C-alpha cells in the first residue's frame, strides 16, 4: 500500500465532504432547512441519501461478516431490504408520510406521530426512546468504520475511533440535513463503484461465478472444516450455500434476528422516514424506487456474497474458516480486503468503507440531536428555545454516548458479532415501538390517541424486557439479567429455554399490534376518545 497516495485520496475525499457540508450550511436559514432540508431535495439525492443512510458499515462489515459465519442465507435480507425497505416503504409509507408531514408541518418522525395524534407525550416518548437506544446502533456503525481503519492503517482501535467520529461530527453539526444529504449522495455513489469492483474481483479471484460457488459448497464437505464449524458456529449449520437446520440456534439467529429484525424494522426507522419529508412531490419518490432498489441490491447483495466466499480464500491461505482466520465476524471483511485485494485497490475500498460509515453516522447523529432537542426537550417538555441550538447540543451528547459505547464494544471478545447484533437490536426495537402507530397514523382515521400510545408503550416495554432478560444473545452481553438473577436469561435451564433463541421482534411486535388494534376496536366509537375532526381533515388533506 502506498501510504502517500492513500492520504491524498483521503484528503480529497474529506475536502469534498467538507465542501458539501459548507454548501448545506450556507443554505440552512431556518429550522425547516436544518431538520428536513427545506422539503426541496432532488429525487436522486433523496434516494441515494436514503440508501446510503440505510446501508453502512453495519451492513457491509457487520452483516458481511455474519454471512462469513452463517452463509448466503443472508440474501433473504437483501430481498426484504428491497421489497420492504424500498418498494413498500416508498410507495405505501413514503407518499403518505410526505403529504401528512407537510400538512401538519412535522419536521421529525416523532413529531409526525405526535402531531397526528395530538400528543406531546407521544412525541417526547418517541424522541427519548430514539435518543437512548440509537447510540447502540450508532456505536455498531462506528465500530465497523473504526475496525476497518484500524486494520487498513495498522493503528490502535482507539485512535481510529476518535479520528473517525470527529470528522463525521464536524460536518453534521454545521450543515444540518441538507449538508448530510448532499454528502450522502456523493458517498453513496462512491459506495456503489467500490462494491461493484469488489464483486467482480471476488469472483475473478476464485475463477468465476460457477467455480466460486462450487468451491464454497465443497468447503463444508472437508472434515477439518466441519470440525471448526462444530466448535465455533454450532449445530444446525449445513454449509455456506444452504440455510441452517430449521429450529436450530443459528436458524433463529439468522431468520428471526438478522433477516426479520432488520428486514421489517426498516419501515420504522426514524432517520429513514424523515427522508420522505424532504422532497417536493410523490413523483420524486416514484423516481427513487428504481435507483434505491439497485443501490440496496449492490450494497447488501455484494457484502453477503463476498462475506460467504471469503471462507474459501481464508481456508486456502490459512486452513481456517473466515471467522477464525480473521479473528471474529466483524473483522472478516476488513481482513479480506487487507489480505486478498491488490494494494492499488486498497485506498478505494478504504474510501468506500469511510463513505458507508459516514453516510449512516451523519444521519444517526442528526436524528439523535433532533430527538432530544426538538422532540423531547422542546415539544415533549414544552420548553422554549432556539431549535437549531438545542438540537446541536443534543447532537453533541448523542455523539459522545455513541463513541463511548463503540469504545466499550471494541474491548469485548472479537468473536462476538457486535456490529450485526447492535444493528438488529435497534431495528427490532423501532419496529415494536413505532410501526403499529406509524401504520395507524397514515391509514386509520379513526385510530384513537390512547390506542396508538398504549401500543407504542407496550411494544417498547416488551421489546426492552426481551432484550435485557430473555433473548440470550443480547441479555448475556448486556449483563443486567446476570447481575439481578445470576443467569444469562430468565428462561435458561427451564422448560422454556428455547425462547432464549427467539428475537424480541417476534414477541414485541405482535404485542404492540394486538394492543393497538384491540384498543382501536374497543374505543373507536367512544366519543370521549375520538380524535378532533378538524385535525383529522388537516392530516389527511390530499391523501386518498
Give residue-wise pLDDT tens across range 265-286. Answer: 889 998 888 888 877 777 777 8
Under DSSP, the state recorded for 251 is: H
Question: Percent of the chain at pLDDT above 90?
Answer: 36
Residues 150-155: contacts with CB under 8 Å, at least 24 apart:
150/334, 151/331, 151/334, 151/335, 151/338, 152/1, 152/334, 152/337, 152/338, 152/346, 152/350
- For residue 314, give the C-alpha cell: 481464508
Q: Are 367 and 177 in contact (CB under 8 A)?
A: no
Rounded Cα gap, residues 104 and 108, in angstroms: 11
**CA 209 from centre of chain:** 29
Q: Give the best-scoring range by mean pLDDT among 17-26, 130-139, 314-323.
A: 314-323
- The residue with greater pLDDT, 499 or 414, is 499
State residue 171's pLDDT score: 60
* pLDDT tens track for 280-308: 777 777 877 888 888 888 888 999 999 99
Q: Which domains does the chain have, with CATH numbers?
A: 3-22+41-417 (1.20.1730.10)
Residue 273 parent element (H or E): helix 270-273
Q: What is the DSSP string of 194-231?
A: HHHHHHHHHHHHTTSHHHHHHHHHHHTTSHHHHHHHHH
Give pTM, 2 decimals.
Answer: 0.85
Please give the grid coordinates belonging to residue 85.
Answer: 425497505
d(CA 519, CA 512): 11
CA distance 295 to 301: 10
- Three cell numbers at 294? 439497485
Residues 6+ apart with CB under 8 A from 357: 56, 57, 141, 142, 144, 145, 148, 164, 168
Residue located via cell numbers 485506498: 347
Task: Give me the mean pLDDT over the 534-540 stretch.
Answer: 94
CA distances from 237 to 5, 254, 283, 341, 421 (A): 43, 11, 45, 28, 19
Confidence category of residue 509, pLDDT binned at 50, 70, 90 = very high
Q: What confidence category does residue 414 fall into, taking pLDDT thresholds of 50, 70 and 90?
A: very low
CA distances from 110 to 84, 144, 375, 520, 530 (A): 21, 28, 7, 21, 21
Say how far apart CA 55 and CA 315 lie, in whole Å. Answer: 28
How many CB atoms are closer than 10 A to CB 453? 20
pLDDT-based confidence at 415, cuts 50/70/90?
very low
Please choose, from the candidates 477, 488, 426, the residue with its C-alpha nearest in 3D space to the C-alpha of residue 129.
Answer: 426
- Quickly list DSSP for 41-75: --HHHHHHHHHHHHSSHIIIIIIHHHHHHH-GGGH
Q: Which of 301, 281, 290, 304 is nearest to 86 (CA)?
A: 290
Give the chain's count of helices (H) and strands (E): 27, 0
Residue 416 has pLDDT above 50, yes or no: no
Which residues does 427 contact at the CB level (< 8 Å), separation at least 6?
137, 261, 262, 264, 265, 266, 269
Over range 494-522, report the average pLDDT: 94
Identify the CA nearest to 420 among candidates 79, 51, 74.
74
| Residue 386 pLDDT | 64
Of 97, 12, 19, 61, the C-alpha closest to 302 is 61
Are the C-beta atoms of residues 433 and 439 closer than 8 Å to each other? no
The continuous run of DSSP H or E covering 306 comes out as helix 302-318
Contact between residue 323 and residue 232 where contact means Cβ atoms under 8 Å apart: yes
Strand (E) or helix (H) holding 450: helix 449-465
Greater pLDDT, 177 or 111: 111
Amino acid at each position: 500500500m502506498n501510504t502517500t497516495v492513500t492520504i491524498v485520496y483521503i484528503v480529497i475525499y474529506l475536502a469534498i465532504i467538507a465542501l458539501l457540508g459548507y454548501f448545506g450550511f450556507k443554505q440552512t436559514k431556518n429550522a425547516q432547512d436544518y431538520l428536513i432540508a427545506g422539503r426541496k431535495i432532488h429525487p436522486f439525492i433523496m434516494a441515494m441519501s436514503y440508501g446510503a443512510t440505510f446501508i453502512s458499515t453495519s451492513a457491509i462489515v457487520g452483516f458481511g461478516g455474519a454471512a462469513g459465519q452463517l452463509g448466503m442465507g443472508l440474501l433473504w435480507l437483501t430481498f426484504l431490504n428491497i421489497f420492504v425497505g424500498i418498494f413498500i416503504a416508498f410507495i405505501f409509507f413514503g407518499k403518505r408520510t410526505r403529504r401528512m408531514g407537510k400538512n401538519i408541518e412535522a419536521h421529525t418522525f416523532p413529531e409526525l406521530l405526535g402531531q397526528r395524534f395530538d400528543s406531546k407525550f407521544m412525541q417526547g416518548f418517541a424522541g427519548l426512546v430514539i435518543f437512548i437506544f440509537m447510540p447502540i446502533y450508532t456505536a455498531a456503525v462506528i465500530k465497523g468504520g473504526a475496525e476497518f481503519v484500524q486494520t487498513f492503517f495498522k493503528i490502535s482501535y482507539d485512535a481510529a475511533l476518535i479520528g473517525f467520529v470527529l470528522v463525521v461530527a464536524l460536518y453534521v453539526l454545521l450543515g444540518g440535513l441538507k449538508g448530510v444529504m448532499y454528502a450522502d449522495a456523493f458517498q453513496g455513489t462512491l459506495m456503489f463503484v467500490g462494491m461493484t469492483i469488489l464483486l467482480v474481483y471476488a469472483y475473478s479471484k476464485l475463477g468465476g461465478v460457477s467455480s466460486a460457488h462450487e468451491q464454497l459448497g465443497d468447503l463444508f464437505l472437508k472434515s477439518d472444516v466441519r470440525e471448526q464449524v462444530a466448535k465455533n458456529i454450532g449445530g444446525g449449520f449445513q454449509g455456506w450455500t444452504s440455510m441452517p437446520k430449521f429450529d436450530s440456534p443459528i436458524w433463529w439467529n439468522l431468520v428471526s434476528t438478522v433477516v426479520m429484525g432488520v428486514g421489517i424494522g426498516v419501515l420504522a426507522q426514524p432517520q429513514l422516514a424523515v427522508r420522505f419529508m424532504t422532497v417536493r412531490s410523490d413523483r420524486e419518490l416514484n423516481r427513487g424506487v428504481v435507483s434505491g432498489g439497485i443501490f440496496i441490491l449492490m450494497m447488501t447483495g455484494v457484502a453477503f456474497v463476498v462475506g460467504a466466499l471469503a471462507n474459501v480464500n481464508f481456508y486456502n491461505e490459512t486452513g481456517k474458516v473466515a471467522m477464525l482466520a480473521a479473528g471474529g465476524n466483524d473483522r472478516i471483511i476488513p481482513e479480506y480486503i487487507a489480505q486478498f485485494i491488490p494494494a492499488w485497490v486498497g485506498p478505494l475500498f478504504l474510501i468506500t468503507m469511510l463513505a458507508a460509515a459516514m453516510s449512516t453516522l451523519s444521519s444517526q447523529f442528526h436524528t439523535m440531536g433532533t430527538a432530544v432537542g426538538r422532540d423531547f426537550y422542546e415539544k415533549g417538555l414544552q420548553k422554549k428555545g432556539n431549535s437549531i441550538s438545542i438540537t446541536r447540543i443534543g447532537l453533541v451528547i448523542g455523539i459522545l454516548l455513541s463513541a463511548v459505547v463503540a469504545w466499550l464494544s471494541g474491548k469485548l471478545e472479537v468473536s462476538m458479532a457486535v456490529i450485526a447484533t447492535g444493528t438488529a437490536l435497534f431495528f427490532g426495537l423501532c419496529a415494536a415501538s413505532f410501526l403499529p402507530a406509524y401504520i395507524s397514523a397514515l391509514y386509520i382515521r379513526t385510530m384513537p390517541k390512547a390506542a396508538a400510545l398504549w401500543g407504542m408503550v407496550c411494544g417498547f416495554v416488551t421489546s426492552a424486557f426481551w432484550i435485557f432478560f430473555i433473548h440470550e444473545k443480547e441479555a448475556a452481553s448486556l449483563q443486567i439479567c446476570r447481575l439481578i438473577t445470576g443467569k444469562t436469561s430468565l428462561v435458561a435451564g427451564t422448560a422454556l429455554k428455547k425462547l432464549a433463541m427467539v428475537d424480541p421482534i417476534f414477541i414485541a411486535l405482535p404485542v404492540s399490534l394486538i394492543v393497538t388494534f384491540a384498543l382501536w376496536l374497543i374505543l373507536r366509537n367512544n366519543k370521549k376518545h375520538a380524535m378532533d375532526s378538524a385535525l383529522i381533515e388537516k392530516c389527511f388533506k390530499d391523501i386518498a
